[in-house]
A and B are shown apart, each in its own frame.
Chain A
Amino acid sequence: GAVVSQHPSRVICKSGTSVKIECRSLDFQATTMFWYRQFPKKSLMLMATSNEGSKATYEQGVEKDKFLINHASLTLSTLTVTSAHPEDSSFYICSARATGTSGGAITGELFFGEGSRLTVL
């Protein structure tokens, strides 16, 4: 069945470094993926919409230079947290919207990744 895989699931880095998180749709294609941020026991906050082959659309208040998004193929979107600081520590979740019918996914179906826990020391 359709699955979205995020990697890494956990990452610890030093302040000032950049961290890349991958979101892959397995067995289906996704022209649109979404990146969310979640604080403990809180809901998901949409950060940006990732569009294959074009620039991401960022939500108000989200720094595009801080959170770089690249959607280079129909199955992969990456989120790079640049010059990470402790306040960037969070749980980052992606979702992928199926395009076409494959791998058990129907067009328009949305699948969430398992999330990536970022801790910046």
Chain B
Amino acid sequence: TQLLEQSPQFLSIQEGENLTVYCNSSSVFSSLQWYRQEPGEGPVLLVTVVTGGEVKKLKRLTFQFGDARKDSSLHITAAQPGDTGLYLCAGEGSSNYKLTFGKGTLLTVNP
């Protein structure tokens, strides 16, 4: 069973601060995805990283995939209240297409 450790689980910060969310595993994933979810809605894909060492930027969000494709991070610069939500990392197995989700990071950005 592939496990993804996501941290921190809860994060409450002030507007303008920076933050980093981590996802770590002992398993290798063919790809790793980051999602954001609002209460009562399905998760929305933010980014997919596939290549070890890959870095992708989405406005103030920077996503990195570890060289060994076992870990990933999400960095948000100058967080805004609109960034508030549940952030989920999910790793895709190489043989079965199943997504293994981390426990999620509940982010609250206070104005």
Check if A44 sits within 8 Å of B41, measured CB to CB: no
Check if A42 sits within 8 Å of B104, measured CB to CB: yes
Chain A residues with CB under 8 Å of B41's CB are: 114-115
Check if A115 sits within 8 Å of B98, measured CB to CB: no
Chain B residues with CB under 8 Å of A41's CB are: 86, 104, 106
Which residue of B6, B42, B90, B99 is within 8 Å of A113 (Cβ)? Answer: B42
Chain B residues with CB under 8 Å of A49's CB are: 96, 98
Inter-chain CB contacts under 8 Å: number: 49
Does B40 make an interface contact (CB < 8 A)?
A: yes
Check if B43 sits within 8 Å of A112, measured CB to CB: yes
Check if B98 sits within 8 Å of A46, measured CB to CB: yes
Check if A43 sits within 8 Å of B98, measured CB to CB: no
A32 CB, nearest partner CB in chain B, Å: 6
Q: Which of A6-53 contact B (CB under 8 A)?
A: 6, 32, 34, 36, 41-46, 49
Which residue of A44, A95, A110, A114 is within 8 Å of B88 (Cβ)? Answer: A44
Chain A residues with CB under 8 Å of B102's CB are: 43
Q: Which of B24-54 contact A (CB under 8 A)?
A: 33, 35, 40-45
Q: Chain B, 48-82, contact with A by CB distance < 8 Å: what is the 0/1 string?
A: 00000000000000000000000000000000000
Looking across the interface, which residue of chain A has its beta carbon closest to that of B41? A114
Chain A residues with CB under 8 Å of B40's CB are: 91, 115, 117
Check if B42 sits within 8 Å of A97, measured CB to CB: no
How many Å lie between the Cα of A96 and that of B43 in the bound state? Answer: 13
How many Å lie between the Cα of A34 and that of B104 in the bound state? Answer: 19
How many Å lie between the Cα of A36 and that of B98 in the bound state? Answer: 11
Which residue of B33, B44, B98, B106 is within 8 Å of A34 (Cβ)? Answer: B98
B105 CB, nearest partner CB in chain A, Å: 9
Check if A43 sits within 8 Å of B103, measured CB to CB: yes
A46 CB, nearest partner CB in chain B, Å: 6
